[in-house]
Amino acid sequence: METRHQAAHILMCAPEHFAVTYSINPWMNPAAWDPASQTLTRQAHREWKRLHQRLLQLGAAIDLMPPVPVLPDLVFTANAAVVMDDTALVAHFRYAQRQPEEAQFEGHFQDLIAAGVLRAVKTMPEGICLEGAGDCVWDKSRQMFWMGYGPRSDLAAAKVVSETFGLETAALELVDPRFYHMDTALSALPNGEIMYVPSAFNAEGLKQIHDRATPEQRIELKPKDAAIFAANSVWIGDQVVMSGASIGLRRQLETRGYRVIATSLGTFHRSGGSAFCLTLRLDHRSEKAALRQAS
């Protein structure tokens, strides 16, 4: 299929049914959403469309997953699965509110197999939570996953990921409830930089980051950037799409050769998500698999 060879292939889901109707993280407050829901819904549609448009402009192919009533968080497709080398490892969610999404995502991945986009769909072993790429961030330059555990995913998921894909998986505990998914706390940029929220990790987690990233490769996010989900960014080539960035952060990224594209996603922040959460890369390929294919 043609899209296979696109630079970026992304799964998104339009916010038809997006709202904050329950609370499973500190950002979510249904009582604050409710009275303004009409305005916020319109705003969410505008913000999502702009993000979608931006990604298309950057050359991404975007696959759209059909929205489903009563599943407001289905828009956060990053949580659908860990997708690598044409295989999707479907999420198992911590909270009952999101568990019905699992079957929806699995069904859509089966459709993607039929369309020739994916080759295999796998599910998690009974009782082990893993909330997809949201908690399992692919680091292209190091050829490894950064997995977050604690609030949502289980530490035991790290072994499942490394065995499923045959790739190194570093598991870091997430200790700040506001940064409850790895993708809210850490971004692995394509040239090896790690952009992260230091307070989201404990000493052991910070040591893992320091062991793998040189001081020049580390971009520590200040609380102000962390709070606007700067870590939750999507990169395509050297373009980094994020909800917003301080002048200082912008400069740090630009001096490293990236271009920052800011597109506001404030309504999604009310649910605890931003740019990365609203997207799932379907095209990640490991060097190992490329070598296997070539031989």
Q: Provide the token pair at 253.
A: 């990224």
CB 171 within 8 A of CB 202: no
CA distance 90 to 176: 25
Minimum CB distance to ligand ARG smaller for 196 or for 217: 196
Task: Report angle CA 111, 129, 240 to the nearest 5 degrees.
Answer: 65
**Interface with ligand ARG (CB under 6 A), residue from 272, 275, 279, 281:** 272
Q: Minimum distance from CB of 180 to ligand ARG (Å)?
A: 7
Minimum CB distance to ligand ARG smaller for 4 or for 17: 17
Active site residue 136: no
x-marked contacts with ligand ARG along 79-108 as a string, rule CB under 6 A: x------------------x----------
CA distance 44 to 192: 32
Task: Report angle CA 97, 103, 108 to the nearest 5 degrees.
Answer: 125
**Interface with ligand ARG (CB under 6 A), residue from 134, 151, 205, 244:** 134
Cα→Cα distances 72→31, 32, 136, 168, Å: 16, 16, 22, 33
**Interface with ligand ARG (CB under 6 A), residue from 243, 273, 282, 284:** 273
Minimum CB distance to ligand ARG smaller for 136 or for 217: 136
> How many residues line the site for ligand ARG (CB under 6 A)?
16
Part in contact with ligand ARG (CB under 6 A); list of ranges 40-48, 107-115, 208-216, 271-279: 271-279
Question: Does position 183 bind ligand ARG by CB under 6 A?
Answer: yes
For residue 240, list its beta bridge partners.
235, 260
Q: Which of 193, 169, 170, 195 is nearest to 184 (CA)?
A: 195
Selected catalytic residue, list 52, 108, 277, 284: 277
Question: Does position 277 bind ligand ARG by CB under 6 A?
Answer: yes
Active site residue 277: yes
Classify the C-alpha dihedral 196-275-227-238 as positive or negative. Answer: positive
Q: Minimum distance from CB of 119 to ligand ARG (Å)?
A: 24
Classify the C-alpha dihedral 229-231-232-237 as positive or negative. Answer: positive
Q: How many residues does the chain have?
A: 295
Part in contact with ligand ARG (CB under 6 A); list of ranges 40-48, 177-185, 209-217, 282-290: 177-185
Selected catalytic residue, list 52, 92, 181, 269: 181
Q: Report the site for ligand ARG in 20-79 (rule: CB under 6 A).
A: 24-25, 28, 73, 76, 78-79
CB 72 within 8 A of CB 21: yes
Strand order in the sheet with 259-262: 234-236, 239-242, 259-262
Question: Does position 151 bind ligand ARG by CB under 6 A?
Answer: no
Q: Where in the sequence numbering do the catalytic residues fall?
A: 181, 277
Enumerate binding residues for ligand ARG (CB under 6 A): 24-25, 28, 73, 76, 78-79, 98, 134, 181, 183-184, 271-273, 277
